Amino acid sequence: MFCLFLHQNKYHAIMKVGEIQTLTVNRLSDYGLYLADEEGNEALLPNRYVSLSQKVGDSVEVFIYHDSEDRITATTDTPTITAGKVAWMKVVDKNIHGAFLDWGIAGKDLFLPNRNQQGGIVIGNHYPIYMYVDDITGRCVATNKLRSFVNNDDIVTVAKGQQVDVLVVSESPIGYRVIVENRHWGMLYKNQIFRPLSLGERTTAYVVKVTEERRIDLSLQRRGYTQVKDSAEQLYDAIVAAGGELPLCDNSTPEQIQQALQMSKKLFKRSLGVLMSHNRVVVTDKGIKIAK
């Protein structure tokens, strides 16, 4: 999103607030470096983020936001969220106007106004938060009313077999509800999860199917031959890490395999078969051993 400001009696498009971007050192000052975009619009990078080696003409990757005095400011701190994204964020303070979230920027918290709050907001708790740039003020604003930003009304960018980014936001008896690609809701089912998951975890998943009811079912593992190929390499690496021999076999329990490899027994057996067919491992009385 672009905002406008008045400069030399003309309006110019300024740099993108709420995003990480690369700007150029335009000039030096007692307060820090003034960075400019391609149109010459500037933002101050305060001295605490400046090194003595930086000079005019250097490129700097920064995050752009408004400071506590409403000035366009740059920082080399990496925020936990950028505009148009969802993140798992902690509430660090509240007042009569709203709550404040830790977004990884020193000396400045992200504002969650009362109008954007869904349910009770408690200091110290974490919530799934969407961040946008306000059309009127140009400032970064948080909301946990996700319906307008995260929904399955129109699923056009997610397809079966696709690798996607997911954020784990809630747990139920059947699995974990996740936000897919900062845009849709999806589900990871517990009977297909073979490693621990935690709320707020961001991980990679794979689309199993998109139903006619616009439900997105996901898996943490690839399906088909690609999954077996990847898991075979995972198994081989685990054997190497164990010193060349791993005490697992066909008779090992699903719980033992899950604890050691974070995969199902079925996938373990298929992966072992791939390694054996390529003469990379042998099965002994003690388990699986690297072939010589």
> pLDDT of 165-189, one tens digit each?
999 999 999 999 999 999 999 999 9
> pLDDT of 73-124, one tens digit each?
999 999 999 999 999 999 999 999 999 999 999 989 999 999 999 988 999 9
- Are 103 and 81 in contact, with CB atoms under 8 Å apart? yes
Domains annotated for the chain, with CATH where assigned, are: 4-75 (2.40.50.140), 86-143 (2.40.50.140), 163-219 (2.40.50.140), 225-290 (1.10.10.10)
Report pTM: 0.75
Place of tokens 């400046």: 50
Q: Is 278 left (phi over 0), alpha (psi -120 to 50) or beta?
A: alpha
Return d(Cα 74, Cα 45) in angstroms, integer. Answer: 5
